Structure 1
Amino acid sequence: MSSAPSRSRSTPDDPLAAASQTAVARIVRELRGLDALNPVVLIDGQSGAGKTRLAAALVRQWPSSGRVQLVALDSIYPGWDGLEYGVEIARQDILVPHARGLMGVWRRHDWETDAPAEAHAVDPSLPLIVEGSGIITAQTLRLSDIAVWVEAPEEARKRRALLRDGDTYRPHWDRWAAQERGHIRADEPAQHATIVVAMP
């Protein structure tokens, strides 16, 4: 899991980039059909599936002018056992206020010190993307306009995740994957998503 911006780079023959572009085009079509100036998009999927790349591409190609807010749950999860709690923080402190037209405030979790860090505001008048494992639940779906589930083969996901985070993540892969599987069993995000994206 990355607590820093993605370091992946596209190449002309990058199949992940091509799949992301196809997915972004699908999401943009859905966005254009909404009657909302400040829609909320949730992007869920297991570690290494390509959520971060997809979210960044969507921000760049958002169909209307103005700022789009992007919140990555990697910045919120309170440690390696915090998937479920991180999602609840996002629901309570970001999605609920946004839906009510109120300013939301969330605190970044500092993975190095394992403690809360600086606070960030979320403007309810602006579009919002929340990206991270676990974010599609029955509770968050009611607070969103589009929910995207990103899936990819486990071998490819693990390779990408460990290439990105290396020895920092390696000891925790199984621990985190177990929480993701629990989320999939309990919440069935692929079945409830507006769009399902297959990444290589």
Structure 2
Amino acid sequence: MSEPVREDVAMLLAAPPRLGRSRLVLIDGPSGAGKTFYAGRLAEDLSGSGLSVVTVHTDDLLDGWDDQFTYWSRLERQVLAPIRRGAPGGYHPYDWHLRRFGTEWVTVWPADVVIVEGVGCGRAEGRAWASLSVYVYAPAAVRRARSIVRDGPAMQPALREWRRREAIHFAADATAIQADLRVDGSA
């Protein structure tokens, strides 16, 4: 386990569960900052500590490019509220190629730790339930380079608009300032 993640695990375990019996971790930050990578490392380290962990990627809950921030009610209703009651939640993941929600149902079982990662998930509406909120950041040039590798040049016009909207959201929500932890995702 890397030292920074070990400290993050200790910080999380010191916090009480606030989502029923689960500790909710919200991992937010701009596109390409390293949220998914950090979520994977954290989940691996938590699982290695003997905890049950489930991860939800908000990209699976978006209804296309224009649903950047309105997915929250879907996440809350279908995933977080059931887990808070001790019941499984779930969702139909969005198919970005077909541009619609798929027919497959993904069940999200209550776990010791529920990680939600994606742009906008660390918003004010979720922080009251979170045992730990994390803001992952990286320089704009790093994020843009990652998006070209990940999504290709053809997606860059849509991602430019996405980045413009996320900057407005982060400023209005004060996401980075309100986070319990800030992580440099550029490494």
TM-score, normalised via structure 1 length: 0.83
Supply the distance in 2 between the matched residues of 1:185 and 1:22 (Cα, whole angstroms): 30
**1:22 Cα deviation (Å)?**
4.9
Counterpart selection for 1:44 from 23, 28, 47: 28
Cα 1:168–1:39 change in 2 (3 A) is farther
Deviations 1:10-63 (A, max 9, x none): xxxxxxxxxx94542232111231344621101000011000110011111006
CA contact (8 A) 1:81 1:175 kept: no
Q: Secondary structure at the match of 1:197?
A: strand
Query: Which letter does structure 2 place at the counterpart of 1:150?
Result: V
Cα 1:25–1:42 change in 2 (3 A) is same
**1:178 Cα deviation (Å)?**
1.9
Structural RMSD (CA): 1.9
Name the structure 1 match of 2:129.
Answer: 143
Uncovered stretches (5+) of structure 1, i.e. residues with no partner: 1-19
Which of 97-106 and 51-60 deviates more? 97-106
Supply the distance in 2 between the matched residues of 1:181 and 1:187 (Cα, whole angstroms): 10
**1:138 Cα deviation (Å)?**
1.4
Give the length in aligned residue pairs.
181
**1:158 Cα deviation (Å)?**
0.7
Supply the distance in 1 between the matched residues of 2:146 and 2:29 (Cα, whole angstroms): 14
Query: Which letter does structure 2 place at the counterpart of 1:143?
Result: W
What is the aligned-residue identity percentage? 31
Counterpart selection for 1:93 from 66, 70, 78: 78
Deviations 1:141-197 (A, max 9, x none): 112110000111101111111111113522212111122112112211111111011
Q: Secondary structure at the match of 1:147?
A: strand
Name the structure 2 match of 1:24.
Answer: 5
CA contact (8 A) 2:23 2:114 kept: yes
Name the structure 2 match of 1:7.
Answer: none
Residue 103 (structure 2) pairs with residue 123 (structure 1) = no
Q: Secondary structure at the match of 2:105?
A: strand
Supply the distance in 2 between the matched residues of 1:90 and 1:129 (Cα, whole angstroms): 12
Cα 1:51–1:22 change in 2 (3 A) is farther
Which of 32-41 and 103-112 deviates more? 32-41
Supply the distance in 1 between the matched residues of 2:73 and 2:16 (Cα, whole angstroms): 27
Supply the distance in 1 between the matched residues of 2:92 and 2:106 (Cα, whole angstroms): 6
Uncovered stretches (5+) of structure 2, i.e. residues with no partner: none
CA contact (8 A) 1:51 1:150 kept: yes
Name the structure 2 match of 1:71.
Answer: 56
